[in-house]
Structure 1
Amino acid sequence: MKTKIYYNNEQFIAGTTLKDMTALEQNNMALHVCTSPDNVINNRKKLAATLQCDVNDLICTEQTHSANFHRATLADKGLGALQQETAIPNTDALYTFEKGLMLCSFTADCVPVIFYNEQQGVIGVIHSGWQGTVKEITLQLFQHLINTEHCNPQDFHVHIGMALSQQKFEVDADVYEKFHRLGYADDFMYYNAQTTKYHIDNQQTVKKQCELAGIPSHHITIDQTCTFLSDEGFSYRQDKKSGRHLSFIMRK
Protein backbone atom coordinates (compact mmCIF):
# COMPACT_ATOMS: atom_id res chain seq x y z
CA MET A 1 0.00 0.00 0.00
CA LYS A 2 1.59 3.24 -1.20
CA THR A 3 1.34 5.81 1.59
CA LYS A 4 3.21 8.78 2.97
CA ILE A 5 3.28 8.84 6.78
CA TYR A 6 3.43 12.31 8.37
CA TYR A 7 3.23 11.32 12.04
CA ASN A 8 3.70 7.98 13.76
CA ASN A 9 4.38 8.10 17.48
CA GLU A 10 2.93 6.63 20.66
CA GLN A 11 -0.22 8.72 20.41
CA PHE A 12 -1.02 9.29 16.72
CA ILE A 13 -0.59 7.95 13.22
CA ALA A 14 -1.32 10.22 10.26
CA GLY A 15 -0.55 10.40 6.57
CA THR A 16 -1.95 10.13 3.08
CA THR A 17 -2.37 7.49 0.41
CA LEU A 18 -0.60 8.00 -2.92
CA LYS A 19 -1.48 7.29 -6.53
CA ASP A 20 -0.06 3.92 -7.57
CA MET A 21 -0.24 2.79 -11.20
CA THR A 22 0.11 -0.87 -10.12
CA ALA A 23 -2.86 -0.82 -7.70
CA LEU A 24 -6.59 -1.21 -8.32
CA GLU A 25 -7.87 2.02 -9.91
CA GLN A 26 -4.39 3.48 -9.24
CA ASN A 27 -5.07 3.28 -5.49
CA ASN A 28 -8.19 5.45 -5.65
CA MET A 29 -9.78 5.72 -2.18
CA ALA A 30 -13.08 7.44 -2.97
CA LEU A 31 -16.41 5.65 -3.39
CA HIS A 32 -18.04 8.72 -4.98
CA VAL A 33 -15.65 8.60 -7.97
CA CYS A 34 -14.73 5.07 -8.96
CA THR A 35 -15.16 2.41 -11.61
CA SER A 36 -15.93 -0.25 -9.03
CA PRO A 37 -16.87 0.26 -5.35
CA ASP A 38 -15.34 -3.15 -4.64
CA ASN A 39 -11.95 -1.90 -5.84
CA VAL A 40 -12.08 1.11 -3.52
CA ILE A 41 -13.19 -1.02 -0.56
CA ASN A 42 -10.33 -3.39 -1.33
CA ASN A 43 -7.89 -0.44 -1.31
CA ARG A 44 -9.31 0.82 1.97
CA LYS A 45 -8.97 -2.64 3.54
CA LYS A 46 -5.34 -2.76 2.44
CA LEU A 47 -4.74 0.66 3.99
CA ALA A 48 -6.35 -0.41 7.26
CA ALA A 49 -4.21 -3.56 7.35
CA THR A 50 -1.07 -1.50 6.71
CA LEU A 51 -1.99 0.76 9.63
CA GLN A 52 -2.89 -2.23 11.83
CA CYS A 53 -6.54 -1.29 12.22
CA ASP A 54 -9.86 -2.37 10.72
CA VAL A 55 -11.64 -0.82 7.74
CA ASN A 56 -14.63 -0.23 10.04
CA ASP A 57 -12.48 2.12 12.12
CA LEU A 58 -12.70 4.64 9.26
CA ILE A 59 -15.11 7.58 9.38
CA CYS A 60 -15.85 9.27 6.06
CA THR A 61 -17.98 12.26 5.08
CA GLU A 62 -19.95 13.40 2.07
CA GLN A 63 -17.74 16.35 1.16
CA THR A 64 -19.62 19.27 -0.37
CA HIS A 65 -17.06 22.12 -0.23
CA SER A 66 -18.92 23.45 2.81
CA ALA A 67 -17.59 24.98 6.03
CA ASN A 68 -19.39 22.31 8.09
CA PHE A 69 -17.56 20.18 10.64
CA HIS A 70 -18.55 17.30 12.91
CA ARG A 71 -17.31 16.01 16.26
CA ALA A 72 -16.93 12.26 15.73
CA THR A 73 -17.76 9.80 18.51
CA LEU A 74 -17.53 6.02 18.81
CA ALA A 75 -21.12 5.85 17.51
CA ASP A 76 -19.83 7.17 14.15
CA LYS A 77 -17.33 4.34 13.72
CA GLY A 78 -17.49 2.88 10.22
CA LEU A 79 -19.72 5.57 8.71
CA GLY A 80 -18.96 5.82 4.99
CA ALA A 81 -16.23 3.17 5.28
CA LEU A 82 -17.93 0.53 3.12
CA GLN A 83 -20.88 2.47 1.65
CA GLN A 84 -21.01 6.04 0.40
CA GLU A 85 -24.66 6.22 1.52
CA THR A 86 -23.68 6.00 5.21
CA ALA A 87 -21.07 8.79 5.04
CA ILE A 88 -21.72 11.76 7.33
CA PRO A 89 -23.68 14.15 5.08
CA ASN A 90 -22.66 17.66 3.98
CA THR A 91 -19.48 17.78 6.09
CA ASP A 92 -15.92 18.76 5.18
CA ALA A 93 -14.08 18.41 8.48
CA LEU A 94 -13.97 15.96 11.36
CA TYR A 95 -12.47 16.05 14.81
CA THR A 96 -12.55 13.69 17.77
CA PHE A 97 -11.25 13.12 21.27
CA GLU A 98 -11.72 9.34 20.95
CA LYS A 99 -9.09 6.68 20.40
CA GLY A 100 -9.28 4.11 17.59
CA LEU A 101 -11.21 6.24 15.07
CA MET A 102 -9.57 6.92 11.73
CA LEU A 103 -10.75 10.31 10.45
CA CYS A 104 -10.66 10.54 6.64
CA SER A 105 -10.53 13.33 4.08
CA PHE A 106 -10.50 12.85 0.30
CA THR A 107 -8.67 15.17 -2.12
CA ALA A 108 -7.36 15.50 -5.67
CA ASP A 109 -5.91 19.07 -5.76
CA CYS A 110 -7.81 20.43 -2.76
CA VAL A 111 -5.89 21.12 0.45
CA PRO A 112 -6.07 18.40 3.12
CA VAL A 113 -5.36 19.56 6.68
CA ILE A 114 -4.40 17.09 9.42
CA PHE A 115 -3.98 18.23 13.01
CA TYR A 116 -3.49 17.01 16.56
CA ASN A 117 -3.31 18.47 20.04
CA GLU A 118 -1.50 16.23 22.53
CA GLN A 119 -2.54 18.20 25.59
CA GLN A 120 -6.28 17.94 24.90
CA GLY A 121 -6.07 14.66 22.96
CA VAL A 122 -7.96 16.02 19.97
CA ILE A 123 -7.26 15.11 16.33
CA GLY A 124 -8.87 16.17 13.08
CA VAL A 125 -8.94 16.40 9.29
CA ILE A 126 -10.18 19.20 7.04
CA HIS A 127 -10.97 19.24 3.32
CA SER A 128 -10.28 22.75 2.04
CA GLY A 129 -10.68 23.23 -1.69
CA TRP A 130 -10.71 26.85 -2.81
CA GLN A 131 -14.40 27.07 -1.90
CA GLY A 132 -13.73 25.78 1.59
CA THR A 133 -10.84 28.21 1.93
CA VAL A 134 -12.91 31.26 1.03
CA LYS A 135 -15.58 30.00 3.47
CA GLU A 136 -12.75 29.80 6.03
CA ILE A 137 -13.51 26.25 7.14
CA THR A 138 -10.07 25.84 8.76
CA LEU A 139 -10.28 29.10 10.70
CA GLN A 140 -13.85 28.36 11.77
CA LEU A 141 -13.02 24.86 13.02
CA PHE A 142 -10.02 26.02 15.03
CA GLN A 143 -12.03 28.89 16.52
CA HIS A 144 -14.68 26.34 17.54
CA LEU A 145 -12.04 24.08 19.13
CA ILE A 146 -10.57 27.03 21.02
CA ASN A 147 -13.81 28.70 22.11
CA THR A 148 -16.18 25.74 22.55
CA GLU A 149 -13.87 22.79 23.24
CA HIS A 150 -11.46 24.97 25.29
CA CYS A 151 -8.32 23.95 23.40
CA ASN A 152 -5.18 26.07 23.62
CA PRO A 153 -4.19 27.22 20.10
CA GLN A 154 -0.51 27.01 21.12
CA ASP A 155 -0.87 23.24 21.54
CA PHE A 156 -2.00 22.42 17.99
CA HIS A 157 0.29 20.84 15.43
CA VAL A 158 -0.92 21.10 11.83
CA HIS A 159 0.17 19.39 8.64
CA ILE A 160 -1.03 20.76 5.31
CA GLY A 161 -0.92 17.93 2.80
CA MET A 162 -0.07 17.69 -0.89
CA ALA A 163 -2.29 19.81 -3.14
CA LEU A 164 -2.39 21.75 -6.41
CA SER A 165 0.60 24.12 -6.55
CA GLN A 166 0.31 27.85 -7.12
CA GLN A 167 1.94 27.35 -10.52
CA LYS A 168 -0.90 25.07 -11.62
CA PHE A 169 -3.77 26.74 -9.72
CA GLU A 170 -4.95 29.20 -12.38
CA VAL A 171 -8.20 31.06 -11.83
CA ASP A 172 -10.25 33.87 -13.33
CA ALA A 173 -11.03 37.20 -11.72
CA ASP A 174 -14.18 35.92 -9.95
CA VAL A 175 -12.23 33.45 -7.79
CA TYR A 176 -9.40 35.97 -7.30
CA GLU A 177 -11.95 38.46 -5.92
CA LYS A 178 -13.21 35.94 -3.37
CA PHE A 179 -9.69 35.39 -2.05
CA HIS A 180 -8.95 39.11 -2.17
CA ARG A 181 -12.01 39.82 -0.03
CA LEU A 182 -10.58 37.64 2.75
CA GLY A 183 -8.22 40.53 3.45
CA TYR A 184 -5.13 38.37 4.06
CA ALA A 185 -4.59 36.32 0.88
CA ASP A 186 -3.07 38.94 -1.44
CA ASP A 187 0.48 37.83 -0.60
CA PHE A 188 -0.39 34.36 -1.88
CA MET A 189 -1.63 35.41 -5.35
CA TYR A 190 -0.09 36.78 -8.52
CA TYR A 191 -1.39 37.82 -11.94
CA ASN A 192 -0.08 36.44 -15.22
CA ALA A 193 -0.61 39.12 -17.87
CA GLN A 194 0.12 36.72 -20.75
CA THR A 195 -2.66 34.30 -19.80
CA THR A 196 -4.83 36.90 -17.95
CA LYS A 197 -5.11 34.35 -15.15
CA TYR A 198 -4.48 34.65 -11.44
CA HIS A 199 -2.42 32.06 -9.57
CA ILE A 200 -3.34 31.27 -5.98
CA ASP A 201 -1.38 29.44 -3.30
CA ASN A 202 -4.21 27.69 -1.47
CA GLN A 203 -1.84 25.95 0.96
CA GLN A 204 -0.31 29.23 2.15
CA THR A 205 -3.77 30.78 2.50
CA VAL A 206 -4.85 27.86 4.71
CA LYS A 207 -1.63 28.20 6.72
CA LYS A 208 -2.49 31.87 7.29
CA GLN A 209 -5.93 30.84 8.56
CA CYS A 210 -4.24 28.54 11.09
CA GLU A 211 -2.02 31.41 12.20
CA LEU A 212 -5.02 33.74 12.51
CA ALA A 213 -6.55 31.18 14.88
CA GLY A 214 -3.46 31.52 17.06
CA ILE A 215 -1.53 28.42 16.03
CA PRO A 216 2.24 29.08 16.05
CA SER A 217 3.70 29.08 12.54
CA HIS A 218 6.50 26.74 13.62
CA HIS A 219 3.80 24.17 14.49
CA ILE A 220 2.59 24.14 10.86
CA THR A 221 4.25 22.03 8.16
CA ILE A 222 3.42 21.88 4.45
CA ASP A 223 3.90 19.05 1.95
CA GLN A 224 4.76 21.03 -1.19
CA THR A 225 4.23 18.08 -3.56
CA CYS A 226 2.02 19.28 -6.44
CA THR A 227 -0.80 16.84 -7.14
CA PHE A 228 -0.82 17.92 -10.81
CA LEU A 229 2.92 17.55 -11.42
CA SER A 230 3.69 14.50 -9.27
CA ASP A 231 3.33 10.94 -10.56
CA GLU A 232 2.03 10.09 -7.08
CA GLY A 233 -0.68 12.75 -7.20
CA PHE A 234 -4.34 12.56 -8.16
CA SER A 235 -5.34 15.78 -9.92
CA TYR A 236 -8.92 16.66 -10.82
CA ARG A 237 -7.65 19.62 -12.84
CA GLN A 238 -5.52 17.28 -14.93
CA ASP A 239 -8.13 14.51 -15.21
CA LYS A 240 -11.82 15.03 -14.43
CA LYS A 241 -12.16 11.28 -13.77
CA SER A 242 -9.28 11.29 -11.31
CA GLY A 243 -9.28 9.16 -8.18
CA ARG A 244 -8.76 10.59 -4.70
CA HIS A 245 -6.12 10.53 -2.01
CA LEU A 246 -7.21 9.62 1.51
CA SER A 247 -5.62 11.77 4.20
CA PHE A 248 -6.02 10.23 7.64
CA ILE A 249 -5.25 10.55 11.31
CA MET A 250 -5.99 8.20 14.20
CA ARG A 251 -5.36 8.46 17.92
CA LYS A 252 -3.93 5.14 19.11
Structure 2
Amino acid sequence: MTETLYETDDPSILSIKKWESDQHIIAGMTTRHGGTSQSPYQSLNVGFHVKDRLSDVLNNRHIVAKKLSIPLQQWVVGTQPHGNNIYKVKRGDRGKGATTEHTAIREVDGLYTTERGILLVSLYADCVPIYFIEKQRQMVGIAHAGWRGTVANIAGKMVEAWRKEGIDPTKIQVVIGPSIGPCCYEVNDVVMSEVNKFQFDKNVAQKNKSNQYMLNLKLLNKLLLIQAGIPEKDIYLSPLCTSCLHSTFFSHRKENGQTGRMMAYIGLR
Protein backbone atom coordinates (compact mmCIF):
# COMPACT_ATOMS: atom_id res chain seq x y z
CA MET A 1 0.00 0.00 0.00
CA THR A 2 1.23 3.54 -0.70
CA GLU A 3 -1.13 5.58 1.50
CA THR A 4 1.25 6.74 4.20
CA LEU A 5 2.48 10.23 5.02
CA TYR A 6 0.50 13.39 4.56
CA GLU A 7 1.83 16.91 4.85
CA THR A 8 0.18 18.90 7.61
CA ASP A 9 -0.60 22.60 7.55
CA ASP A 10 2.97 23.07 8.78
CA PRO A 11 5.45 22.60 5.89
CA SER A 12 8.16 21.42 8.29
CA ILE A 13 6.30 18.31 9.47
CA LEU A 14 4.88 15.24 7.75
CA SER A 15 2.76 13.07 10.00
CA ILE A 16 1.43 9.53 9.68
CA LYS A 17 -2.26 10.37 9.90
CA LYS A 18 -3.30 6.73 9.75
CA TRP A 19 -1.64 6.13 13.11
CA GLU A 20 -2.05 9.55 14.67
CA SER A 21 -5.82 9.11 14.58
CA ASP A 22 -5.06 7.22 17.79
CA GLN A 23 -4.40 10.10 20.19
CA HIS A 24 -1.80 8.05 22.08
CA ILE A 25 0.52 7.77 19.05
CA ILE A 26 2.76 10.37 17.43
CA ALA A 27 4.68 9.49 14.27
CA GLY A 28 6.09 11.32 11.30
CA MET A 29 9.07 13.02 9.70
CA THR A 30 10.46 16.52 9.43
CA THR A 31 11.27 18.24 6.13
CA ARG A 32 14.11 20.67 5.44
CA HIS A 33 11.88 23.74 5.96
CA GLY A 34 11.34 25.98 8.96
CA GLY A 35 14.73 26.10 10.68
CA THR A 36 17.69 28.41 11.20
CA SER A 37 20.63 26.59 9.55
CA GLN A 38 22.49 28.27 6.70
CA SER A 39 23.56 26.86 3.32
CA PRO A 40 24.20 24.03 2.57
CA TYR A 41 22.18 22.86 5.58
CA GLN A 42 19.24 25.15 5.12
CA SER A 43 17.15 25.22 7.01
CA LEU A 44 15.76 22.63 9.46
CA ASN A 45 18.85 20.45 9.84
CA VAL A 46 18.58 18.34 13.00
CA GLY A 47 21.81 16.32 12.56
CA PHE A 48 24.73 17.23 14.85
CA HIS A 49 27.24 15.18 12.84
CA VAL A 50 27.15 17.03 9.48
CA LYS A 51 29.45 19.97 10.37
CA ASP A 52 26.61 22.44 10.70
CA ARG A 53 26.86 25.05 13.44
CA LEU A 54 25.88 23.20 16.63
CA SER A 55 23.86 26.11 18.01
CA ASP A 56 21.70 26.09 14.87
CA VAL A 57 21.14 22.34 15.09
CA LEU A 58 20.12 22.59 18.73
CA ASN A 59 17.85 25.52 17.94
CA ASN A 60 16.25 23.49 15.15
CA ARG A 61 15.64 20.59 17.51
CA HIS A 62 13.97 22.96 19.96
CA ILE A 63 11.77 24.22 17.10
CA VAL A 64 10.67 20.66 16.31
CA ALA A 65 10.19 19.82 20.00
CA LYS A 66 7.83 22.76 20.37
CA LYS A 67 5.86 21.81 17.26
CA LEU A 68 5.47 18.22 18.49
CA SER A 69 4.86 19.27 22.11
CA ILE A 70 7.53 16.82 23.26
CA PRO A 71 10.59 18.41 24.95
CA LEU A 72 14.11 17.30 24.11
CA GLN A 73 14.42 15.70 27.54
CA GLN A 74 12.03 13.00 26.27
CA TRP A 75 13.83 12.28 22.97
CA VAL A 76 16.09 9.25 22.44
CA VAL A 77 18.58 9.09 19.53
CA GLY A 78 21.05 6.38 18.43
CA THR A 79 24.39 6.83 16.66
CA GLN A 80 23.30 4.96 13.47
CA PRO A 81 26.50 3.28 12.22
CA HIS A 82 24.62 1.64 9.31
CA GLY A 83 24.31 -1.70 11.07
CA ASN A 84 21.47 -3.87 12.33
CA ASN A 85 21.67 -3.54 16.11
CA ILE A 86 18.34 -3.05 17.88
CA TYR A 87 17.91 -1.44 21.32
CA LYS A 88 14.91 -1.47 23.66
CA VAL A 89 14.54 2.05 25.06
CA LYS A 90 13.73 2.31 28.76
CA ARG A 91 12.55 5.20 30.85
CA GLY A 92 16.05 5.95 32.06
CA ASP A 93 17.21 6.54 28.47
CA ARG A 94 15.17 9.71 28.06
CA GLY A 95 17.26 12.58 26.72
CA LYS A 96 20.08 10.44 25.32
CA GLY A 97 21.40 12.00 22.10
CA ALA A 98 18.84 14.81 22.26
CA THR A 99 21.06 17.82 22.96
CA THR A 100 24.54 16.44 22.18
CA GLU A 101 25.78 13.75 19.83
CA HIS A 102 28.14 12.10 22.34
CA THR A 103 25.28 11.04 24.65
CA ALA A 104 23.44 9.13 21.91
CA ILE A 105 22.94 5.38 22.34
CA ARG A 106 26.00 3.79 20.79
CA GLU A 107 26.09 1.43 17.80
CA VAL A 108 22.35 1.15 17.19
CA ASP A 109 20.20 1.79 14.10
CA GLY A 110 16.95 0.46 15.54
CA LEU A 111 15.02 1.65 18.61
CA TYR A 112 11.78 0.40 20.16
CA THR A 113 9.84 0.96 23.36
CA THR A 114 6.62 0.43 25.29
CA GLU A 115 7.27 3.46 27.49
CA ARG A 116 4.96 6.45 27.21
CA GLY A 117 6.39 9.94 27.02
CA ILE A 118 9.42 8.94 24.94
CA LEU A 119 10.07 10.08 21.37
CA LEU A 120 12.25 7.70 19.35
CA VAL A 121 14.26 9.76 16.86
CA SER A 122 16.28 8.69 13.82
CA LEU A 123 18.10 10.85 11.24
CA TYR A 124 17.90 10.70 7.43
CA ALA A 125 19.06 12.15 4.12
CA ASP A 126 18.11 9.35 1.64
CA CYS A 127 18.18 6.19 3.81
CA VAL A 128 14.93 4.38 4.53
CA PRO A 129 12.97 5.11 7.72
CA ILE A 130 10.93 2.09 8.83
CA TYR A 131 8.26 2.67 11.47
CA PHE A 132 6.76 -0.19 13.50
CA ILE A 133 3.71 -0.38 15.73
CA GLU A 134 1.69 -3.03 17.53
CA LYS A 135 -1.37 -1.28 18.88
CA GLN A 136 -2.68 -3.90 21.28
CA ARG A 137 0.60 -4.20 23.19
CA GLN A 138 1.36 -0.49 22.65
CA MET A 139 4.86 -1.04 21.29
CA VAL A 140 6.49 1.30 18.77
CA GLY A 141 9.83 1.25 16.98
CA ILE A 142 11.90 2.80 14.24
CA ALA A 143 14.75 1.44 12.10
CA HIS A 144 17.30 3.32 9.98
CA ALA A 145 17.98 1.31 6.83
CA GLY A 146 20.67 2.40 4.41
CA TRP A 147 21.85 -0.22 1.96
CA ARG A 148 24.20 -1.77 4.53
CA GLY A 149 21.55 -1.98 7.21
CA THR A 150 19.06 -3.28 4.69
CA VAL A 151 21.26 -6.17 3.49
CA ALA A 152 22.04 -6.87 7.17
CA ASN A 153 18.25 -7.24 7.50
CA ILE A 154 17.62 -4.64 10.18
CA ALA A 155 13.92 -4.86 9.31
CA GLY A 156 13.82 -8.56 10.12
CA LYS A 157 15.95 -8.01 13.23
CA MET A 158 13.34 -5.62 14.59
CA VAL A 159 10.56 -8.13 13.97
CA GLU A 160 12.61 -10.84 15.68
CA ALA A 161 13.22 -8.59 18.70
CA TRP A 162 9.48 -8.04 18.99
CA ARG A 163 8.79 -11.74 18.59
CA LYS A 164 11.02 -12.32 21.62
CA GLU A 165 8.82 -9.82 23.47
CA GLY A 166 5.87 -12.12 22.77
CA ILE A 167 4.46 -10.13 19.86
CA ASP A 168 2.97 -11.98 16.89
CA PRO A 169 4.44 -10.51 13.65
CA THR A 170 1.00 -10.70 12.03
CA LYS A 171 -0.15 -8.04 14.50
CA ILE A 172 2.59 -5.55 13.57
CA GLN A 173 1.94 -2.64 11.21
CA VAL A 174 4.78 -0.94 9.32
CA VAL A 175 5.29 2.30 7.41
CA ILE A 176 8.26 2.63 5.04
CA GLY A 177 8.77 6.36 4.79
CA PRO A 178 10.26 8.83 2.28
CA SER A 179 13.73 7.86 1.05
CA ILE A 180 15.72 7.75 -2.17
CA GLY A 181 13.80 5.85 -4.85
CA PRO A 182 14.79 3.51 -7.69
CA CYS A 183 14.53 6.52 -9.99
CA CYS A 184 17.66 8.01 -8.38
CA TYR A 185 19.51 5.34 -6.40
CA GLU A 186 22.31 4.02 -8.60
CA VAL A 187 24.50 1.30 -7.06
CA ASN A 188 27.38 -0.87 -8.25
CA ASP A 189 28.17 -4.58 -8.39
CA VAL A 190 29.52 -4.58 -4.83
CA VAL A 191 26.15 -3.51 -3.45
CA MET A 192 24.22 -5.81 -5.77
CA SER A 193 26.30 -8.80 -4.74
CA GLU A 194 24.92 -8.29 -1.22
CA VAL A 195 21.37 -7.62 -2.43
CA ASN A 196 21.33 -10.73 -4.61
CA LYS A 197 22.02 -12.99 -1.65
CA PHE A 198 18.31 -12.78 -0.82
CA GLN A 199 17.16 -14.23 -4.17
CA PHE A 200 13.68 -12.71 -4.06
CA ASP A 201 11.36 -13.48 -6.95
CA LYS A 202 10.55 -9.79 -7.40
CA ASN A 203 13.22 -7.74 -9.16
CA VAL A 204 14.46 -5.06 -6.76
CA ALA A 205 16.92 -3.47 -9.21
CA GLN A 206 17.16 -2.62 -12.91
CA LYS A 207 20.39 -2.40 -14.87
CA ASN A 208 20.92 0.97 -16.53
CA LYS A 209 22.86 2.14 -19.59
CA SER A 210 26.01 2.65 -17.50
CA ASN A 211 26.01 -1.02 -16.46
CA GLN A 212 25.11 0.06 -12.94
CA TYR A 213 21.88 -0.76 -11.10
CA MET A 214 18.91 1.34 -10.00
CA LEU A 215 18.03 -0.17 -6.63
CA ASN A 216 14.58 -0.06 -5.03
CA LEU A 217 15.63 0.00 -1.39
CA LYS A 218 12.06 0.48 -0.16
CA LEU A 219 10.86 -2.61 -1.99
CA LEU A 220 13.78 -4.66 -0.70
CA ASN A 221 12.89 -3.73 2.88
CA LYS A 222 9.24 -4.53 2.22
CA LEU A 223 10.15 -8.00 0.97
CA LEU A 224 12.33 -8.57 4.03
CA LEU A 225 9.44 -7.55 6.28
CA ILE A 226 7.09 -9.97 4.51
CA GLN A 227 9.72 -12.69 4.88
CA ALA A 228 9.83 -11.90 8.61
CA GLY A 229 6.09 -12.49 8.92
CA ILE A 230 4.49 -9.05 8.49
CA PRO A 231 1.33 -9.27 6.34
CA GLU A 232 1.77 -7.37 3.08
CA LYS A 233 -1.53 -5.55 3.66
CA ASP A 234 -0.05 -4.03 6.83
CA ILE A 235 3.03 -2.55 5.16
CA TYR A 236 2.45 1.01 3.95
CA LEU A 237 4.95 2.35 1.44
CA SER A 238 5.63 6.04 0.82
CA PRO A 239 6.09 6.90 -2.88
CA LEU A 240 8.16 10.00 -2.04
CA CYS A 241 11.77 10.11 -3.26
CA THR A 242 14.06 12.32 -1.18
CA SER A 243 16.40 12.88 -4.13
CA CYS A 244 13.68 13.91 -6.58
CA LEU A 245 12.12 16.12 -3.92
CA HIS A 246 15.33 17.67 -2.61
CA SER A 247 13.60 21.03 -2.31
CA THR A 248 11.52 19.41 0.45
CA PHE A 249 13.97 16.83 1.82
CA PHE A 250 17.70 16.69 2.44
CA SER A 251 19.37 14.29 -0.02
CA HIS A 252 22.91 13.03 0.52
CA ARG A 253 23.08 11.67 -3.02
CA LYS A 254 21.60 14.72 -4.79
CA GLU A 255 23.61 17.22 -2.79
CA ASN A 256 26.96 15.44 -3.10
CA GLY A 257 27.20 14.47 0.53
CA GLN A 258 27.07 17.98 1.98
CA THR A 259 23.60 18.48 3.39
CA GLY A 260 21.50 18.33 6.53
CA ARG A 261 19.33 15.63 8.07
CA MET A 262 15.62 15.20 8.62
CA MET A 263 14.34 13.23 11.59
CA ALA A 264 11.81 10.44 11.58
CA TYR A 265 10.09 9.98 14.92
CA ILE A 266 7.57 7.79 16.71
CA GLY A 267 6.33 7.66 20.28
CA LEU A 268 3.53 6.89 22.71
CA ARG A 269 1.89 9.82 24.45
2: CA distance between counterparts of 1:20 and 1:90? 29
Matching residue within 227, 239, 251 for 1:224: 239
Query: Which residue is 1:184 aligned to?
Result: 200
Which residue does the alignment assign to 2:29?
A: 16
Alignment partner, residue 216 of structure 2:
201
- Residue pair 1:191, 1:197 contacting (<8 A) in 2 also: yes
C-alpha contact 1:15 1:248 (8 A) present in aligned 2: yes
Aligned: 1:4 with 2:17: no
Instruction: Report how many residues are paired.
Output: 250
1:43 is paired with a residue whose SS is helix
* SS of the residue 1:203 aligns to: helix
Counterpart Cα distance in 1 of 2:202 and 2:26:
34
Structure-2 separation of matches of 1:20 and 1:46? 11
C-alpha change, 1:207 and 1:177, in structure 2 (3 Å) is same
4+ residue runs of structure 1 moved beyond 6 angstroms? none
The answer to whether the 8 A contact 1:179-1:185 is kept is no
- Mapped to 2, the partners of 1:52 and 1:22 lie a distance apart of 17
- Choose the corresponding residue for 2:228, options 201, 207, 213: 213
Residues 1:233 and 2:249 aligned together: yes
Question: 1:5-46 deviations in whole A, cap 9, x for unaligned?
Answer: 013122201000001276433101111114211111111111
Matched with 1:45 is: 62
Q: Please identify, of 32-41 and 82-91, the stretch whose mean Cα deviation from structure 2 is larger.
A: 32-41
Distance 1:185 1:66, change over 3 A: farther
Question: What is the CA–CA distance in structure 1 between the aligned matches of 2:250 and 2:232, rounded to whole Å?
Answer: 28
Tell me which amino acid in the other structure corresponds to 2:28: G
Task: Give me the whole-angstrom Cα distance separating, in 1, the residues matched to 2:197 and 2:35.
Answer: 44
> Structure 2 residue aligned with 1:71, among 78, 88, 92?
88
2:174 counterpart of 1:158: yes
- Provide the C-alpha distance between the structure 1 equivalents of 2:187 and 2:201, rounded to a whole number of angstroms: 14
Deviation at 1:55, TM superposition (A): 1.2
- Given that residues 113 and 158 in structure 1 are in contact (C-alpha distance below 8 angstroms), is that contact kept between their aligned partners in structure 2? yes
Q: Which residue of 1 aligns with 2:183?
A: 167
Are 1:55 and 2:72 an aligned pair? yes
Contact in 2 for aligned 1:93/1:127 (Cα 8 Å) = yes
Q: Is the 8 A contact 1:73 1:98 kept in 2?
A: yes
The secondary structure found in structure 2 opposite 1:32 is helix
Question: What does the per-residue CA deviation read over 1:164-186, in whole Å, with 9 as the maximum and x for residues that have no partner?
Answer: 01011111111111100122275
Confirm or deny: 8 A CA contact 1:29 1:40 kept in the other structure: yes
Tell me the amino acid that sits aligned with residue 125 of structure 1: I
For residues 62-101 of structure 1, the aligned pairs below 5 Å read 62-101=79-118
Q: How does 1:105-124 map to 2 (within 5 A)?
A: 105-124=122-141
* 2:155 partner SS: helix
**Aligned CA distance change for structure 1 residues 90 and 144 (closer, same or farther; 3 Å):** same
Q: Which residue in 2 is equivalent to 1:130?
A: 147
Aligned-partner residue type, residue 3 of structure 1: I
CA distance in 1, matches of 2:72, 2:152: 31
Identity among equivalent positions (%) equals 28
Q: Take 1:85 and 1:238, find their aligned partners in 2: how far apart are those partners?
A: 28
TM-score for the superposition, normalised by structure 1: 0.96
Moved more, 122-131 or 168-177: 168-177
Q: Distance in 1 between matches of 2:90 and 2:167?
A: 18
- Secondary structure, aligned partner of 2:43: helix
Matched, 1:26 2:43: yes
What letter corresponds to residue 45 of structure 1 in structure 2?
Answer: H
Contact 1:180 1:186 in 2 (8 A): no
